[in-house]
């Protein structure tokens, strides 16, 4: 009897009460192979602590870290025809959409929200690389246009975080039409005199790179991001030559003038907040770390473009005006 009570019954209870252990508790760094506990990675904005490798981050996490106190409201996006071409490869396009929606919890590859960034209302769009590789289709194109139109109507700056494999092949020419559509919408924002800031994340390729992703007033890239139209493997196979190390990565593109700056994910919030202040000629915002550290010297800073315009005009009054115009601190 003791054997049954002491051995058999505990084993039965342990078997019945056994909990399934999650298989994603540890995440492997693609660069170094280091194993990182997923909660530590999540707390570090999905940047591997030792190597600094920037992993994919969900749009909801991105928005929560970007806006003040993680508070924002999503903008309602227009609906589009689900499968206009009745496309089918190894699977139906409609089935692929269902799988992607179940996996990500979003309707399509783009989320648009409005919230405060250091007290400044800002419209932000985030592409989800996990939704069919963040491909650009009619839904994503309409979402970008809606976000840009909202920014124009409310007089707000627009920030977009790109992550895409290019145009969505399942929508054919209709996906390619989103390139000129989004380009026209960006132009309207520019005509309204509102800032348009692009943050290129890994990867940003194809038709997205050939349209709205490279039209920003300021082009920012996350470290190590692949940014290109055709990928390096395709280029090597075409020209039959070995490409330079780091070719088409953000650091290489920065050195060759294709992007304006490479910014660590932890510094994106303060950097973009500072840039928006400069582009909108807002007073120095003491809440921004760079503004606190730089003080009056930053407040008297003059942009190269403004200085060039004033110098071209040849008037001393213009230069005096620029020297006294308050602008926000620039995050280093």
Are 195 and 120 spatial neighbours (Cβ–Cβ below 8 Å)? no
CA-CA distance, 221 to 35, in Å (whole number)?
A: 26
- pLDDT of 304 higher than 60: no
Domains and CATH numbers, the chain: 17-55 (no CATH), 56-280 (3.90.226.10), 282-332 (no CATH)
205-218: average pLDDT: 96
Q: Which residue has the higher pLDDT, 302 or 269?
A: 269
Listed range (89-103, 220-234, 253-267, 293-307) with the worst mean pLDDT:
293-307
pLDDT class of 284 with cuts at 50, 70, 90 = confident
Listed range (25-29, 181-185, 200-204) with the worst mean pLDDT:
25-29
- pLDDT of 326 higher than 80: no
Listed range (197-206, 282-291, 298-307) with the worst mean pLDDT:
298-307
pLDDT class of 9 with cuts at 50, 70, 90 = low
186-196: average pLDDT: 98
User: Over pLDDT 90: what percentage of the chain?
Assistant: 75
Are 90 and 109 spatial neighbours (Cβ–Cβ below 8 Å)? no
- pLDDT of 294 higher than 80: no
Give the sheet arrangement for strand 72-74, strand by strand: 72-74, 110-117, 120-127, 158-164, 196-204, 218-221, 261-262
254-271: average pLDDT: 96
- pLDDT of 318 higher than 50: no
245-268: average pLDDT: 95
C-alpha 275, offset from chain centre: 16
Output the average pLDDT for the chain. 86
Full 3-state SS string of the chain: CHHHHHHHHHHHHHHHCCCCCCCCCEEECCCCCCEEEHHHHHHCCCECCCCCCECCCCHHHHHHHHCHHHCEEECCCCCCCCCCCCCECCCEHHHHHHHHHHHHCCCCCEEEEEEEECCEEEEEEEECCCCHHHCECHHHHHHHHHHHHHHHHHCCCEEEEEEECCECHHHHHHHHCHHHHHHHHHHHHHHCCCCEEEEEEEEECHHHHCCHHHCCCEEEECCCCEECCCCHHHHHHHHCCCCCCCCCEHHHHHHCCCCCEECCHHHHHHHHHHHHHHHCCCCCCCCCHHHHHHCHHHHCCCCHHHHHHHHHHCCHHHHHHHHHCCCCCCCC
What's the pLDDT at 14? 66
CA-CA distance, 35 to 53, in Å (whole number)?
A: 12
Q: What is the pLDDT of residues 67-87, one digit of tens each?
A: 999 999 999 999 999 999 999
Closest CA to 281 of 297, 269, 299: 299
Closest CA to 115 of 78, 65, 45: 65
Q: What is the pLDDT of residues 132-164, one digit of tens each?
A: 999 999 999 999 999 999 999 999 999 999 999
Phi, psi of 244 (to 5 degrees): -60, 155
- pLDDT of 328 higher than 90: no
292-300: average pLDDT: 41
């Amino acid at each position: 009897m003791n054997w049954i009570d002491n051995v058999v019954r505990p084993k039965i209870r342990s078997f019945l009460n056994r909990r399934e252990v999650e298989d994603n508790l540890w995440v492997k760094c693609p660069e170094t192979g280091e194993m990182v506990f997923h909660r530590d990675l999540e707390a570090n904005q999905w940047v591997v602590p030792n190597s600094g490798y920037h992993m994919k981050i969900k749009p909801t996490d991105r928005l929560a870290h970007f806006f003040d106190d993680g508070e924002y409201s999503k903008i309602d996006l227009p609906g589009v025809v689900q499968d206009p071409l009745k496309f089918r490869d190894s699977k139906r396009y409609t089935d692929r959409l269902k799988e992607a929606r179940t996996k990500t919890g979003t309707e399509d590859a783009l989320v648009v929200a409005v919230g405060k960034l250091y007290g400044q209302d800002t419209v932000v769009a985030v592409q989800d690389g996990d939704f069919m590789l963040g491909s650009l289709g009619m839904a994503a194109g309409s979402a970008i246009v809606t976000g840009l139109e909202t920014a124009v109507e409310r007089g707000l700056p627009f920030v977009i975080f790109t992550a895409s494999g290019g145009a969505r092949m399942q929508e054919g020419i209709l996906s390619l039409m989103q390139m000129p559509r989004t380009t026209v919408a960006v132009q309207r924002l520019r005509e309204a005199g509102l800032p348009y800031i692009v943050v290129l994340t890994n990867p940003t390729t194809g038709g997205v790179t050939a349209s709205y992703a490279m039209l920003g007033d300021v082009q920012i890239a996350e470290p190590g991001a692949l940014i290109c139209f055709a990928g390096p493997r395709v280029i090597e196979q075409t020209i039959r030559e070995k490409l330079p190390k780091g070719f088409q990565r953000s650091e290489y593109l920065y050195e060759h003038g294709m992007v304006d700056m490479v910014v660590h994910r932890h510094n994106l919030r303060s950097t973009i907040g500072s840039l928006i202040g400069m582009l909108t000629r807002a007073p120095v915002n003491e809440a921004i770390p760079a503004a606190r550290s730089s003080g009056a010297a930053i407040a008297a800073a003059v942009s190269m473009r403004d200085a060039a315009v004033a110098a071209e005009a040849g008037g001393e009054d213009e230069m005096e005006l620029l020297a006294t115009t308050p602008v926000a601190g620039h995050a280093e």
